[in-house]
Amino acid sequence: MSYQVLARKWRPRTFHELVGQAHVQRALVNALDQGRLHHAYLFTGTRGVGKTTLARILAKCLNCTANGRGDEGVTSTPCGECDSCRAIDEGRFVDLIEVDAASRTKVEDTRELLDNVQYAPTQGRYKVYLIDEVHMLSTSSFNALLKTLEEPPPHVKFLLATTDPHKLPPTVLSRCLQFTLKHMPPERVVEHLQHVLTVEGVAFEESALWLLGKAAEGSMRDAMSLTDQAIAFGQGEVRHGDVAAMLGTLDHRHVLALVDALAEVDVARLLSEVAQLAEQGPDFAAVLDDVTAILHRLAVAQMVPDAVDNSHGDRETVIALASRFMAEDVQLYYQIGIQGRGDMVHAPDLRSALEMTLLRMLAFRPQGVPKPPQTPLPLKPQSQETPSQQSVPESAASAPASTEAPTSAPSEPPPWAGETPAPPEPPLAEPEPAPESQPAPEPDVQPEPLPIVPSAAPEPAEPTQEGEPERLNHAKWLAMFDALGLGGLTRNLAANCQCESDDGMTLVLRLAPSQAAMQAEIHQTRIAKALSAQGIERQVTFHVEALDTSQETPHQREERQAQERYAHAVDTLSRDPHIQKLKQAFGAKLIESSVKPVRSAR
């Protein structure tokens, strides 16, 4: 027996075998069970979603004779075994007239078709006219069909199918019951393919099925046809690598690797991933499109995790990846990706355009790109220009104060050896042998100890009592908040927190429930890093609970202080003698809403 393709072998033969069109199935089953049959049905939808299949199932329901009830034997569950059911399945049922409107568009063809409408069915209970791609009929053909379509004989049913219902005249639409078939979501396609391949005994990888489900674009028939092709391509198996090679599509895992490198702010890995992609000769514009598509899904995952699209079967991966990004970073990256896509036409080549777009995402992020560790270059004593340039940042306090500094610098061999923070004292001792320049460097001797101040600055912020770190409380949290130097979304989040507890190792910040959606691990890391810069080594966690109304958060304190400054500014201006004179002389009035107090420097 010849091989039968999967799309035909697994075509549904009853309503209960239909996949993904429950809304149409329910309406037709109820109508058949209750005997409320219309004379004309219109099935619309994209290719391969089951329009013709539905029409054939309905034709079997109308003509099944297994129950032996004669004209009243219409059923929603055709047996599939009687002569009528087998004839319809095999395409030889005399009273099922299938017409391809794309090849019979002339009005003469329509008139010839309608000449036989008046005759009773030969074999079945109803004469069923199935007109596929009905929108291809000419205007004259539609006009010839209208009267019969509105009042056909009782033994005639019209089943129309089209992929473009907008091209049908309103007069035709008004005479039919219209059912719109939905696209098949990738999840439903993959689920059905798993069932089919399991029954067929074909080994498969689930990731390969997601590639097929995505490539089918909502068409179950296309998915089955691609699966047939994948089985032949993989010598009886459906593997991810084979399907990706067969479809010529980009491996989605490479795109996820690019986004993961963006999350890690790892420039070297980012360029390495692009280099690996280049070996496959991909369409770099499509790669950038896929990256921006993932960024869109990350933004959705951050706002509404349950709404994340699972077209690639990677919903959990995307949700986990979203927690590693700041919301403002995702929005910025997406905007840069969209703009970079338009700039690709002006780039010398598409690969460099992709790399520059990805690098621009990291370069413009609010936190910047971590600089690689700088190692001192081995400088030779013969070159006098390079050592002087190396010593400029270190001896910036003494160089502009004395004109003799450039002449004394070459005489001192190791200016570059003092780049470590500990030995800034040797330059202090150097000006002493020059008595003439002693008055000039004398003022600089006072600023020189300033580099030592940063090393001593953390000492007040790292209060130790006999080796045990001091516990933070809410008052200390308020006092040191501005010194942490937080910015962006992290500052907004921390400003709405209260210090709940501190055991010397973990700092628990109480977060208002209204801000709970903004919490992320990256904020905890940034706050902990800011505390570490102040000499306080802590892990940071958030506890979502209603705030203590007796304590104000840094945000509330800032608002209160702003209101106090505003009230003070308005009061000061009101009592200003010059303004009072203007009021008396010209009837002037102080517009309080325009007063903007200057925040005092701290």
Determine which of 50-64, 422-436, 556-570 has the lowest per-residue pLDDT on average. Answer: 422-436
d(Cα 138, Cα 140) in Å, to the nearest integer?
5
3-state secondary structure of 117: coil
Segment 525-550 shows an average pLDDT of 89
34-47 as b/e: b if 16+ CB within 10 A: eeebebbbbbbbbe
Distance from chain centroid for Cα 118: 58
**Does a structural domain hold residue 537?**
yes
Note the pLDDT of residue 4.
83
Q: Is the dihedral of CA 300, 302, 305, 310 positive or negative?
A: positive
DSSP H or E stretch at residue 128: strand 127-132
Closest CA to 223 of 180, 192, 264: 192
Same domain, 116 and 152: yes
Same domain, 36 and 101: yes
Specify the number of domains making up the chain.
5
Based on C-alpha coordinates, what's the Rg of the chain? 39
Q: Is the pLDDT of residue 469 over 90?
A: no
Same domain, 295 and 192: no
What is the pTM assigned to this prediction? 0.54
**Does a structural domain hold residue 82?**
yes
Note the pLDDT of residue 375.
52
User: Strands, E, within 222-274: which ranges?
Assistant: 237-238
pLDDT above 70 covers a percentage of the chain that reads 81
Residues 296-311 pLDDT 10s: 999 999 888 888 887 7
Same domain, 128 and 111: yes
d(Cα 18, Cα 24) in Å, to the nearest integer?
10
Between the alpha carbon of residue 359 and those of residues 275, 276, 372, the distances in Å are: 14, 17, 15
Full DSSP string of 502-551: E-SSEEEEEE-GGGGGG--HHHHHHHHHHHHHTT---EEEEEE-PPPTTS
Residue keyed to tokens 């003092």: 418
Tokens of 595: 């007063």
Contact 218, 252 (CB under 8 A): no
Contact 272, 253 (CB under 8 A): no
Closest CA to 327 of 555, 517, 512: 517
Residues 366-425 pLDDT 10s: 776 665 555 554 544 444 444 444 444 443 343 444 334 343 344 444 443 334 444 444
Dihedral-angle region of residue 542 (phi above 0 means left; psi in -120 to 50 means alpha; beta otherwise): beta
CATH code for the domain in which residue 242 is found: 1.10.8.60
Q: What is the longest distance spanned by two Cα atoms in the chain?
A: 127
Strands 96-100 vs 237-238: parallel, antiparallel or unpaired? unpaired
Note the pLDDT of residue 467.
55
Contact 230, 242 (CB under 8 A): yes
Q: What values do phi and psi take at 507, rounded to 5? A: -100, 120
Query: Within 10 A of 487 (CB to CB), how many other CB atoms are there?
Result: 12
Same domain, 98 and 34: yes
Of 343, 363, 383, the residue at which a domain comes to its end is 363
Note the pLDDT of residue 8.
87
Comparison of pLDDT for 448 and 254, the residue scoring more: 254
Same domain, 194 and 342: no
**Does a structural domain hold residue 408?**
no
Note the pLDDT of residue 411.
41
Tokens of 1: 């027996």
Question: Binning pLDDT at 50, 70 and 90, where does residue 462 land?
Answer: very low
Contact 59, 128 (CB under 8 A): yes
Tokens of 158: 């019209």
CATH code for the domain in which residue 321 is found: 1.20.272.10
Of 363, 396, 429, the residue at which a domain comes to its end is 363
CATH code for the domain in which residue 490 is found: 3.30.300.150
Closest CA to 128 of 153, 151, 97, 99: 97
| Helical axes 252-264 vs 284-303, angle rounded to 10° | 60
**Does a structural domain hold residue 73?**
yes
Note the pLDDT of residue 104.
77
Q: Is the pLDDT of residue 47 over 50?
A: yes
Same domain, 57 and 147: yes
**Does a structural domain hold residue 490?**
yes
Same domain, 232 and 348: no
Same domain, 121 and 19: yes
Comparison of pLDDT for 3 and 401, the residue scoring more: 3
User: 177 forms bridges with which residues in the sheet?
Assistant: 41
Contact 315, 308 (CB under 8 A): yes
**Does a structural domain hold residue 210?**
yes
Note the pLDDT of residue 415.
40
Note the pLDDT of residue 331.
92
Q: Is the pLDDT of residue 130 over 60?
A: yes
Most confident residue range from 104-118, 151-165, 410-424: 151-165
Residue 586 structural domain: 560-594
Segment 318-339 shows an average pLDDT of 90
Same domain, 525 and 544: yes
d(Cα 235, Cα 209) in Å, to the nearest integer?
16
Comparison of pLDDT for 69 and 110, the residue scoring more: 110
d(Cα 203, Cα 37) in Å, to the nearest integer?
44
Hey, what amino acid is at 123?
Answer: Q
Comparison of pLDDT for 144 and 402, the residue scoring more: 144
Same domain, 109 and 233: no
**Does a structural domain hold residue 529?**
yes
d(Cα 542, Cα 552) in Å, to the nearest integer?
17
Closest CA to 530 of 552, 566, 554: 554
d(Cα 336, Cα 258) in Å, to the nearest integer?
15
DSSP H or E stretch at residue 162: strand 156-162
Comparison of pLDDT for 251 and 238, the residue scoring more: 238
Question: Binning pLDDT at 50, 70 and 90, where does residue 468 land?
Answer: low
Cα angle 552, 554, 558; round to 5: 100
**Does a structural domain hold residue 416?**
no
Q: Is the pLDDT of residue 2 over 50?
A: yes
Of 155, 180, 205, the residue at which a domain comes to its end is 180
3-state secondary structure of 136: helix
Residues 184-237 pLDDT 10s: 888 889 999 999 999 999 999 888 898 898 888 888 999 999 999 999 998 889
Contact 156, 125 (CB under 8 A): no
Segment 446-458 shows an average pLDDT of 38
Tokens of 47: 């290719």
Residues 272-299 pLDDT 10s: 999 988 887 788 898 999 999 999 999 9
Same domain, 57 and 14: yes
